[in-house]
Amino acid sequence: MKTPYKNIYNVLKLNRFIVLAVVVCALLSSTFSVWMVFNTNQKALNSAFAINTDGSIIPLKLVTQKENFRVEALAHLDLFHNYFYNIDASNYERNLEKALWLGNSSVDNLYRQKKADGVYNRLLQYSLVQKVLSIDSRISENDGSYGFTTTTIFEINRGSIIDTYELVSTGNLIMVDRNFPNNPHGLLITNYFENTLKKISDEN
């Protein structure tokens, strides 16, 4: 018995439905795949790493990293000023070497100027002890660039006399690759300048 011709339309409708279903499924599958790739890419782009004080790597989100930039910047400035100004005859070479990793040529130029002026020779000659008492830094942002102003209070122990000084320094911060343990915060001090230095007290 032959199939009536009218069933051909039903077959065509079924075929068309199947084709449409396959096309829709393919589009949905492609869309989902593209979304997965995009989502994975975004997660990768928004990921960053920080190095903890013990050397362990901590994954961070880019947003969190931006929110924590102030904390890292303050820690970087605290580290630098401690290394650069907390010195005595026994540790100044080691501390200054560490400080130079945290800044660019502006820091190195200041170090060379101090060396030429005999600052470190006097440190050795008179066994001076320069001790940092406090570090107070303020971070400012302008069009994506970061500047800072730091007030460092330190004392110089000359044996029978202890003089206390206030140093105000300024500069900028830029992001660089982390280099543990030399530069754990991934920041670099640029345009560093000692603005003012004044004696605030002395003890006999």
Is residue 125 located within the same domain as residue 178? yes
SS3 sequence of 57-104? EEEEEHHHHHHCHHHHHHHHHHHHHHHHHCEECCCHHHHHHHHHCCEC
48 assigned to some structural domain: no
pLDDT (0 to 100) of residue 30: 83
pLDDT (0 to 100) of residue 36: 79
34 assigned to some structural domain: yes
189 assigned to some structural domain: yes
Is residue 167 located within the same domain as residue 72? yes
Instruction: Provide the percentage of residues in the chain whose pLDDT is more than 90.
Output: 58
- Which tens digits make up the pLDDT trace of 125-153? 999 999 999 999 999 988 878 999 999 99
Structural domain total, the chain: 2
Is residue 16 located within the same domain as residue 88? no
Is residue 101 located within the same domain as residue 179? yes
Is residue 114 located within the same domain as residue 33? no
pTM, entire model: 0.68
Is residue 33 located within the same domain as residue 89? no
CA distances from 191 to 59, 104, 137, 188 (A): 31, 8, 16, 10
If one compares 174 and 38, the residue with the highest pLDDT of the two is 174
In this prediction, residue 27 has a pLDDT band, given cuts at 50, 70 and 90, of confident
CATH number of the domain that residue 94 is part of: 3.10.450.230
DSSP state of 3: P
Q: What is the domain range of residue 33?
A: 8-43
- Which tens digits make up the pLDDT trace of 150-169? 999 999 998 889 999 999 99
- What average pLDDT does range 85-114 have in this prediction? 96
Is residue 92 located within the same domain as residue 123? yes
